[in-house]
Structure 1
C-alpha cells in the first residue's frame, strides 16, 4: 500500500473533476468556431468560467485560462511589468520576497537579466512571513518607480500564510498593482479575489483535484497586460491559443468542489496534521516544525507539516521512506542530482545544514488516519538509519 503525503506537489483528481473532463473528451468543436459544435464547446468554456468566477468572487471576464500556475505567474509578472514600464519608463522596480516559488523567482531573474528590471526580494521572519515594515520602506523610498508587487498567498514549502492584506493596503496608497500566487491556498483557506484587493491571482488545476495542464490568472478587468503569446487573440487577447475545453471543464468542477468543501477539508486535515507532528516528535524528540508552530496554526496551511531532522540528509530520508511505500518531499531543490539547500529555509535564517535535513509532509482530500499511523511507525527506524549513514 502506498501512503501518499505529497499533496502540495499534486493531489489526486476529484471524481467530479474526472467526470466533467472525461464527459467532454470525445466532443468535437473548437470554442473559437462559429458552427454548432464550436458554439457548444464555447458554452462549456464560458459556463466553466462562470463557475470559477462565482467560487472566487470575481467577474467571469477576469478569469484568463492558462496552461497552469507557472504560465499564469509568468503572464502576471512579465505582462504587468511590460505594461507598467511601457506607460512609464521609470517604473522598473519589482518587489517580492525571498521565499516565493521558482515560478515567480525565475521570471523575476529573467526580467532582471533581459529587461532591466530592478527586483528587490524582501526579507521574511523565522516563520517565512514577509516583514511588512520592509515592504513599506521599499515602497515609500520611491513609490513612482515600483511597477508591481508579487507576494504569494501561502508558502509551498513551510505552509506560512503571507500578509497579503497588508501588502495590498500599502500598495493601494500609491496605485501599485499586487499579484499573488494562490496555487497552494485555494481549497485550503478562504480565497476571495474581490475582498482580497489584489489585482492578479494565480491558480492551477492539479493542486485542487483538477487535471494537469490547466490553470488561470484572475486579473482585474481594468489592468493592462502585455501578452506573452501572440496568435488568435483568445482570452482577452492576452493568452492566445486553442482552448482546452475538457481540461477547463474538469478544472472548473475541481474549483467548485474545493471551495465548497474548504472549511470541512481544512478542519479534517489540520487535525491529521497536528497528530502527525506531535507523534513524529514523540518518536524523534529532536525533530522540529518549520514555520508557524501548532499553536499558531491559523498562520499556516492546514495540511502542511514541514519537519527538520537533525543529522540527516532530507534526500536520504525521502528515499528510505519511499522504500517503505511512504511518499513525501524534501524541503530542498535538486539540481543536476546535487542536493541544494532550500532557499525558503535559508531566507528564514536556517543554516545550510538545517536547510538540507527537512521533509515536507502534505495532506489532502484522500489522506487518512492510517496514513499518519504508517508514517509514525516508519519514521523512527528511518531516521536512525539515515543518521547511521552520516556517521
Structure 2
C-alpha cells in the first residue's frame, strides 16, 4: 500500500510541472539599460528564439519603465514568446546611467536565480540600444552572443580584466578595492572594446584608454601572457644598430617594440605606518615580437640595454596610470585591500580608505627579462 501511495504522489507531482515548449520561448541573451530624460529606464533585450518557420532566430525588444522588472513586463507585451532569463550572458549599461550607480541592477541580477553569477558586465559610451540593435558580426547568431564572445575572449587573452558579475560584486563589497568593467563603443556599426570603465564604489567616474589597460592589469594581478607595444626614446639603442652608415630616408625615426608577456611576478608592500605609501615590484619575462629599428640582437649588451629601456618605459606608464586613478579618486589597483590584509592594527575603514586615495604615493620597480628574440638568438 505504501508503494502505491508513493507512485500516486510522484504522478501527481509530475503533472504539476509546468511545460515550456522551446518554440514558444524568447531566451534573453543580453540586456542593455539607458537612462531617459524623465528618469525612466529604457531596456533593450536581445532574444534568441527557436522558430522552425523562419531563418531569423534573433529579436530585439525595447521597452521603458521605472524598474528592470517593469521593463521585462512591458517587453512581454511586445512579443508572442515567453521571455526567460536563463541565458543572460551580457548586461550592458550606458555610462550616464552607470554614473548614477549600479547597485540596484546588481541586486536584481544577483537575486534572479536564473541569471548566472558568471554573466558579463560592460559599460558603453553610446546608448546600449544602438549597440544591441547593431548587426551581429562574425557568424554570431545575435548581438548578445557576439558581445559575449568579444568580452570573454579578451578576458581569456588578458586584454581586459575579469568582467563577471561575481568579480564586480567582490570589488564593490571589499574595503580597499574599486571595480572596473570593459568600456564599449560602436565603430563601423560594430560593438568594440574602447577602454576600461573606472568605478568609485558602484558609480562610473571615468575611463582608461585601451592602450593603458595592460598597465592597470600589471598592478591588479600576476599575468601569464599578453601582448603590448611600447614607444622607446628614438635614439636609445642607436649604439647597437647593425648598419650605422646606411640609413633609409623612409625609415621610421621613432623606436617601437612589441612584446609578448610570458609571465609576471607581482609584489605590493604597504608601509604599515602609512596607508598611502606603497612599493610595487614587478618581475616580468617577455618575448620580443618586433622592433622598428635594425638592432644587433646578437650582442648581449644590446639586449641588456633594451631591457633597461623597457623597464623605464613600463614604470613611466604605471606612474601615469596611477596618477589617473588618483585623479578620479579610485583604487582600481586594490591598494587599500592589500594594506588591510597585511596590517592587523589600524585597519582602513571604507571612509578612511577613500580619504587616503588622493595621498597615494606608489613607487614602481620593474625588472624585465627578454627570454627569446627571434632567429638571431
- Normalised by the size of structure 2, how large is the TM-score? 0.26
Greater fraction of residues in strand: 2
Greater fraction of residues in helix: 1
Q: Which has the larger radius of gyration?
A: 2
Higher RCO (C-alpha 8 Å, min separation 6): 1
- Normalised by the size of structure 1, how large is the TM-score? 0.25
